[in-house]
Amino acid sequence: MCILQLVLATQNKDKIREIKNLLQDLPVTILTCDDFLDFPDIEETGETLEENAVLKAGGIAKFTGLATLADDSGLEVEALGGAPGVFSSRYAGPGCTYADNNRKLLREMKDIPEGKRAARFRAVIAIVWDADKVETVEGRAEGKIITENRGVDGFGYDPVFFYPPAGKTFAEMTLDEKNSVSHRGKALLAARELIIKHLSQKV
Which residues are tagged catalytic?
72
- Beta carbon of residue 203, minimum distance to ligand ITT (angstroms, whole number): 31
Q: Which is nearer to ligand ITT, 84 or 195 (CB)?
A: 84
Max alpha carbon distance in the chain (Å)?
58
Residue 123 beta carbon to ligand ITT: minimum distance, rounded to whole angstroms? 6
Rounded-to-integer distance, Cα 126 and Cα 140, Å? 15
Least Å from the CB of residue 12 to ligand ITT: 4
Q: Residue 143 half-sphere exposure, CB side, CA atoms within 13 Å?
A: 25
Q: Which residue is nearest to ligand ITT (CB)?
A: 156
State the number of CA atoms in the 13 A half-sphere of 186 facing the CB. Answer: 13
Of 112, 134, 155, 194, the one binding ligand ITT (CB under 6 A) is: 155
Residue 44, interface with ligand ITT (CB under 6 A)? yes
Cα–Cα nearest to 42, from 16, 60, 65, 30: 60
Considering only 19, 57, 67, 74, the residue that binds ligand ITT (CB under 6 A) is: 74
- The number of beta carbons lying within 10 Å of the beta carbon of residue 110 is 8
C-alpha to C-alpha distance for 191 and 20, rounded to whole angstroms: 12
Of 39, 54, 55, 73, the one binding ligand ITT by CB under 6 A = 73
Query: Could you list the residues that contact ligand ITT (CB under 6 A)?
Result: 10-12, 15, 44, 71-75, 88-89, 101, 121, 154-158, 170, 182, 184
